[in-house]
A = this chain, B = another copy of it.
Amino acid sequence: MTAEILCIGTELLLGNITNGNARWIAEQLAALGVPHHRQAVVGDNRERLIAEVRAASERCRLLITTGGLGPTPDDLTTESIAAAFATPLVEHPQVWADIQARLAARGRPCAASNRRQAYLPEGAELLPNPTGTAPGMIWSPRPGFTILTFPGVPSEMRAMWQATAAPWLNDAGLADGVFASRMLHFWGVAESNLAEQMADLLEAANPTVAPYAGSGEVKLRLTARAASADLAEALLEPLEAEIRARTGELCFGLDDDSLASVVLELLRQRGQTLAVAESCTGGGLGAALAAVPGASDVFLGGVIAYANAVKQGVLGVPSELLEAHGAVSDPVAQAMAQGARRATGADWALAITGVAGPGGGTDQKPVGLVHIALAGPDRCVSEGVRFGSSRGRSWIQTLSAGEALNRLRLALL
């Protein structure tokens, strides 16, 4: 009882566009609890399309296609699907009337090619397109195998899905229970180490746990299947508690949380504010905070002190400190953080100064060395961290911002 997605369009094979339709449909299938094991992409090519559709009909219960429903000679989906099952196309006069009316309403001429869109394989039902001219179909060319076709335009596809396909899928009894899932976020642990801590859980069949690595962050997705949403959530509840108990402060958030959003919320609860002083990240830490909607009640701003003159002039870092220790050092990081607190009046400040590379590294201060300081109402601490040079400048900048936020998070817990 599984589903497959087939996206049709040469523009996908040329890399002109990202396949956002596949992701969106995959999410919908997961939410409906329809098992989905395979996706494919082919170009606007009749033979390959026929071969894909035939092969899918041997494997799955439900095939969902996107693309190739337009009026141009490139649009081959409907006729290829009909050909795959040696079925003739028949015109649906009311669809043709509808297409003509829609084009007239937009003041567009009705080309003869538009009439092709009114043809469906004999026996197929219409899948109406409320927002465009290209309708889709719901067709079972053989028992136990159904095809749903959608246009490639995302807004049309989504409207058709929600109006007709989702209710049809619900009624068709394709769902094997209901799925619920949660994403837990971690900082300061490698994917492999986290996976080892979870080895027993990673092997479980329901609920499942799957690890994902990001930029410095590691995530675990928890997924449960049950007869109802409540029962699925009830399976996830003790699992999340168990993982949180094993990982303690390494786990920083759930679902849409980011380090920045979690830190902003912790400060919001205390009624406190935050400023930044950034050298090698050049504004990336501030941008991460400003990415969170509603950041402005906590995040005041700060200083991008890329040049030493700005560290001195705007943040008030003493020139003696810069001369004695160099810009990439704990004393300078601390002076930057204190300067940002002073300049903005914030309760807390984070400062970052490091060697992002690729140039500028020395034996003592290699590329990837970053000093991060945290100044608060009653403390100012700094520590260096080595991110290494192998993953490049952008990686060092991203990890520096994340590490700074995580230190503040731990200080606030």
Contacts and interface: CB of A to CB of B under 8 A. Distances in A.
A390 B306 contact: no
Contacts of A221: 11, 14, 16
A109 interface: yes
Interface string A15-34: 11111101111111110000
B300 A302 contact: no
Nearest to A307: B300
Given A290-B397, A299-B306, A18 B18 contact: yes
A312 to B, nearest CB: 11
Interface residues of A, number: 120
Counting chain B CB atoms within 10 Å of each CB, the highest count among A26, A109, A285, A313 belongs to A26
Contact of A190 (B108, B280, B310): B108
Which secondary structure characterizes the binding site on chain A? mixed
Contacts of A391: 131-132, 155
Contacts of A140: none
A44 interface: yes
Contacts of A307: 296, 299-301, 344
Interface in A195-236: 195-196, 199, 202-203, 210-213, 215, 221, 223
Contacts of A285: 283
Contacts of A379: none
A83 B190 CA distance: 28
A319 interface: no
Contacts of A12: 22-23, 26, 39
B113 A195 contact: yes
A107 interface: yes
Given A287-B397, A303-B301, A192 B72 contact: yes
Contacts of A72: 191-192, 195, 202, 211
A114 B293 CA distance: 39
A269 B16 CA distance: 30
A395 B131 CA distance: 10
Given A38-B41, A74-B202, A282-B291, 16 more contacts: A11-B210, A12-B23, A13-B38, A13-B39, A18-B23, A102-B390, A107-B386, A108-B193, A112-B196, A282-B286, A283-B284, A284-B286, A287-B287, A302-B304, A310-B343, A314-B344
